[in-house]
A and B are shown apart, each in its own frame.
Chain A
Amino acid sequence: MGMGCGLMGGFVVTRKLSLFGDTLSHAVLPGVAVGFIFSQSKNSFSILMGAMIAGFLGVFLISLIKKTTKVRLDSALGLVLSGFYAVGICLLTRIQKMEFGNQSGIDRYLFGQITGLSTADVLGMGISCVLILLLTFLLYKEMLVTGFDPGFARSVGIPVDLLQYILWMLLAFSVITSLQVVGVILVSALLIIPAATASIITQRMKSLLFWSAGLGILAGIVGTYLSFLGNRLPTGPLIILTSTSFFIITLFLHFRNGLLFKWIRSRGKEQKIAIENTLKAIYQELENHNFSEDTITLGNLAKRRRINMPEAHKEVKNLVKKNLAFLLLKKNQTLPNEDILSLTPEGWSEACRIVRNHRLWELYLTNEVHYAPDHVHEDAEKIEHILGDTTVRKIERILSNPRRDPHGKLIPSQQDIEQGFIEKKVIRTV
């Protein structure tokens, strides 16, 4: 059952139909009740038929509301969900008060109880599982196309509407068969959660279905096992919680798409960008004094970076840690702003490289792409951190080794970088 739901979930989630499952699982309730009344017993078959019909009616109503009115899809879902459910409850409470109201079996449809399963129920589940599997294999390609690009599917002659109905039918089928185990409310969880977990792991439909089914099975087994451990442990919620914990683990710890690793990576990048920006600020500060000194004060750095002193201290500490700058403490100082900062050779070449990237890019945008000179700064501010050596070489070749950026400032050359300082002569001549 976990597998069936997992597979269906794969299709459901990719079609943004997640809440359809929820709606459907509520909407089948009147069908269950009517089926019960009709057969006057807990006959699986008539209940199944009733649920099927009710489910279809619900889906049909939703699409009808969507087609004929301006009511939004989520409202339509909510309308059908609560309306059908209420009818179901009405019927159930009515049944309870009638003479044959032995409703002990029907309660199971609300919350589910796996231990009360009969062999026939298990058989029914097996059949539905096989059916879903079979249809998935047979109609895989068509389902895939209609799921992602209905317009294209229609143009190549795939009966989109028919497939849609088949999918709904399968969905209703798997919802109904799982009802007895986990109950109305939690069926939708079985549909959504494994597929959602799988969608974090992979982007390809085939492996998504595979993962989703696998996770469904695993959650089913682990959840059931857990429920045997305690006395009063309900099976359905435990299955759901197991698959939720799978989801949480994947969400955080999956290597490529997990949030934890993403966070670590983006932090690394952020730190790199902060360091590069500080180096650039130091360079600009030095440039402001025409490179007559090779030190700047921390206060000036903070002013240029538009940050406060503690932040500037932190930034500089990072630089010092990476051996890009060193801090000279003035003796008998009165103001902390007067701390003096100087670049190491590595820091100098790194700073030059960043400024060079920035200014080259600005020049490239104005000369070759014909941007206005006052529009290029923002763009260069971003690209300076990403430009690689080969790209820089290419730009140099295109612009034939320029020395001035569009704002008339010096572009530090390769020679300046190696030399470790910029000669006064150069500043004056260029």
Chain B
Amino acid sequence: MDHFFPPLDLLDTFAMPWASPEDIIWNGKIVAMGFFVCLSCGLIGAFIVVRKLALMGDAISHGILPGLALSFMITQSKALLPMFIGACIAGLLCSLCIEWLQKKSPLKADAALGLTFTSFFALGVLLITQMGNNAHIDAECLLYGEIGFTPLAKNLKWGAIELGPRPLATMAMVTLLIISIMIVFYKQLLVTSFDETLSISLGLPIKAIHYGLMLLLATTIVAAFESVGVILVIAMLIFPSTTASFFFSRMPAILFSTIPLAFIYSFGGFFLARWLDCSIAASMVVIAMFCFGLAWLFGPVDGVIPKLLYRKVSV
């Protein structure tokens, strides 16, 4: 127990990663990856959370496993596109199944959710074990990922331009996509999330928007899972917006606060992992949890301590 927490060497933890240009590029890529994942997930997550779909992310991220396994079986390669398509199909299938069960069967919503994704996941695990050891996707990697391998990945080339390591480039593109969609469809997303009746009367295609969001969610998860693992994705869907909701109650403010939070998470997580020598993705979540705890206690909107103070004053 005594040597579980190594002494905190400030220089080694905080300065050494940035000592030389190579180190800066290497570690910068890791942090950038974390940042992009946090940002894109946080933006989608804000909408997911207000739609009470927080656990849908959990479900979809487990549900994509059979899709990955199948596309690997068919193509016998880890090429990006088939994997992506397989995962998207499985993810959408999973969310469709959940909705169908919720509508048609007498099951309660949460039971339908739990039932579907665990079954999908079980199928995925079964398929992967059937492929044997030549499978390079193992379930563990899916679950907690290894962000530290990001700089190791092959560079993605588009024409003559080097776009950097594949996962990073993909993630950056997905982030861009999400930001642009958020800007273009912001009003529609907002209205459908908060007031279904109003959006029906405005003639907005609710179903299309809902499935669009699900597809976006699936895309993000697929782009992110390989390097950061499912857990970071789920955590990042929920943590930023709930943390921000202790400070702001307006949607734009919550969305914008995802950016500084993503900074804190990615750098904080990186340093924590450096110190403890453990999984980077998981340490990012630990930092996120820590931030959430602080916000919970001190947040001006709904925090515990401000509420206590307020009560004293009013009495």
Which residues of A does B touch, CB under 8 Å? 13, 16-19, 21-22, 37-38, 65, 68-72, 74-75, 77-79, 81-83, 85-91, 93-94, 97-98, 107, 110-111, 185-186, 188-189, 191-193, 195-196, 199-200, 232-234, 236-238, 240-241, 244, 247, 251, 257, 259
> Given contacts A18-B108, A193-B119, is CB(A86)–CB(B4) below 8 Å?
no
Query: Is B1 part of the contact surface with A, judged by Cβ < 8 Å?
Result: yes
Complex CA distance for A257 and B104, rounded to whole angstroms = 11
Q: Are A240 and B122 in contact (CB under 8 A)?
A: yes
Complex CA distance for A71 and B289, rounded to whole angstroms = 14
Q: Are A68 and B304 in contact (CB under 8 A)?
A: yes
Nearest 10 interchain pairs by C-beta: A86-B285, A189-B118, A82-B235, A240-B122, A237-B122, A89-B282, A83-B289, A244-B119, A86-B282, A93-B278
Task: List B contacts of A238 (CB < 8 A).
Answer: 122, 126
Task: List A contacts of B58 (CB < 8 A).
Answer: 22, 78, 81-82
Query: Is B260 part of the contact surface with A, judged by Cβ < 8 Å?
Result: no
> Given contacts A74-B52, A110-B143, A236-B122, is CB(A69)–CB(B302) below 8 Å?
yes
Q: Are B231 and A19 in contact (CB under 8 A)?
A: no
> Given contacts A71-B245, A74-B52, is CB(A82)–CB(B108) below 8 Å?
no
Interface residues of B in 257-296 (CB under 8 A from A): 273, 276-279, 281-286, 288-289, 292, 296
Query: Is B125 part of the contact surface with A, judged by Cβ < 8 Å?
Result: yes
Q: Are B118 and A188 in contact (CB under 8 A)?
A: yes
Complex CA distance for A37 and B143, rounded to whole angstroms = 22
Q: Are A192 and B129 in contact (CB under 8 A)?
A: no
Task: List A contacts of B129 (CB < 8 A).
Answer: 232-234, 237
Q: Are B114 and A18 in contact (CB under 8 A)?
A: yes
Task: List B contacts of A71 (CB < 8 A).
Answer: 242, 245
Complex CA distance for A72 and B121, rounded to whole angstroms = 26
Q: Are A196 and B111 in contact (CB under 8 A)?
A: yes
Task: List A contacts of B22 (CB < 8 A).
Answer: none
Task: List B contacts of A107 (CB < 8 A).
Answer: 140
Q: Are A18 and B110 in contact (CB under 8 A)?
A: yes
Q: Are B104 and A70 in contact (CB under 8 A)?
A: no
B52, B245, B277, B282: which contacts A87 (Cβ < 8 A)? B282
**Of A22, A241, A259, most B-chain CB atoms within 10 Å:** A22
Interface residues of B in 93-139 (CB under 8 A from A): 104-108, 110-115, 118-119, 121-123, 125-126, 129-130, 132, 139
Q: Are A192 and B126 in contact (CB under 8 A)?
A: no
Task: List A contacts of B209 (CB < 8 A).
Answer: none
Nearest chain A CB to B208's CB is how many angstroms away? 24
Q: Are B130 and A16 in contact (CB under 8 A)?
A: no
Q: Are B54 and A13 in contact (CB under 8 A)?
A: no
Which residue on chain A has the smallest CB distance to residue B236?
A82
Task: List B contacts of A195 (CB < 8 A).
Answer: 111
Which residue on chain B has the smallest CB distance to residue A239?
B122
Task: List A contacts of B3 (CB < 8 A).
Answer: 98
Task: List B contacts of A68 (CB < 8 A).
Answer: 296, 304, 307
Q: Are A185 and B279 in contact (CB under 8 A)?
A: no
Task: List A contacts of B304 (CB < 8 A).
Answer: 68-69
Query: Is B31 part of the contact surface with A, judged by Cβ < 8 Å?
Result: no
30 A/B residue pairs, CB under 8 Å, sorted by A:
A19-B55, A22-B58, A68-B304, A74-B53, A75-B49, A75-B54, A78-B234, A79-B242, A82-B232, A83-B286, A87-B282, A89-B144, A89-B231, A90-B273, A185-B62, A185-B143, A196-B115, A200-B106, A200-B107, A232-B132, A234-B125, A236-B122, A237-B121, A237-B125, A238-B126, A240-B119, A241-B122, A241-B126, A251-B105, A257-B106
> Given contacts A22-B114, A236-B122, is CB(A70)–CB(B62) below 8 Å?
no
B55, B122, B132, B140: which contacts A78 (Cβ < 8 A)? B55
Task: List A contacts of B33 (CB < 8 A).
Answer: none
Complex CA distance for A21 and B286, rounded to whole angstroms = 22
Query: Is B91 part of the contact surface with A, judged by Cβ < 8 Å?
Result: no
Complex CA distance for A430 and B50, rounded to whole angstroms = 63
Which residues of B does A touch, CB under 8 Å? 1, 3-4, 49, 52-55, 57-58, 62, 104-108, 110-115, 118-119, 121-123, 125-126, 129-130, 132, 139-140, 143-144, 231-232, 234-235, 237-239, 242, 245-246, 273, 276-279, 281-286, 288-289, 292, 296, 302, 304, 307
> Given contacts A16-B108, A93-B282, A233-B129, is CB(A78)–CB(B54) below 8 Å?
yes
Task: List B contacts of A18 (CB < 8 A).
Answer: 108, 110-111, 113-115
Complex CA distance for A145 and B4, rounded to whole angstroms = 47
Q: Are B118 and A240 in contact (CB under 8 A)?
A: yes
Which residue on chain A has the smallest CB distance to residue B53?
A74
Complex CA distance for A196 and B98, rounded to whole angstroms = 13
Task: List A contacts of B107 (CB < 8 A).
Answer: 196, 199-200
Which residue on chain A has the smallest CB distance to residue B109?
A16
Complex CA distance for A123 and B123, rounded to whole angstroms = 29
Q: Are B234 and A237 in contact (CB under 8 A)?
A: no
Q: Are A188 and B282 in contact (CB under 8 A)?
A: no
Which residue on chain B has the smallest CB distance to residue A40?
B1
> Given contacts A199-B106, A199-B107, is CB(A244)–CB(B289) below 8 Å?
no
Q: Are A19 and B113 in contact (CB under 8 A)?
A: yes
Nearest chain A CB to B40's CB is how many angstroms away? 16
B126, B140, B235, B245: which contacts A83 (Cβ < 8 A)? B235
Q: Are B4 and A37 in contact (CB under 8 A)?
A: yes
> Given contacts A86-B289, A90-B278, A257-B106, is CB(A185)–CB(B4) below 8 Å?
no
Which residue on chain B has the smallest CB distance to residue A252?
B105
Which residue on chain A has the smallest CB distance to residue B307?
A68
Q: Are B110 and A16 in contact (CB under 8 A)?
A: yes
Task: List B contacts of A87 (CB < 8 A).
Answer: 282, 285-286, 289
Task: List A contacts of B126 (CB < 8 A).
Answer: 233-234, 237-238, 241
Q: Are A90 and B231 in contact (CB under 8 A)?
A: no
Nearest chain A CB to B200's CB is how many angstroms away? 21
Q: Are B235 and A38 in contact (CB under 8 A)?
A: no
Task: List A contacts of B115 (CB < 8 A).
Answer: 18, 189, 192-193, 196, 244, 247
Nearest chain B CB to A40's CB is how many angstroms away? 9
Task: List A contacts of B239 (CB < 8 A).
Answer: 79, 82-83
Q: Are A90 and B283 in contact (CB under 8 A)?
A: yes
Instruction: Name 8 extra pairs, CB < 8 A, besides A86-B231, A94-B278.
Output: A71-B242, A74-B53, A81-B234, A88-B282, A192-B111, A192-B118, A193-B115, A247-B115
Task: List A contacts of B112 (CB < 8 A).
Answer: 196
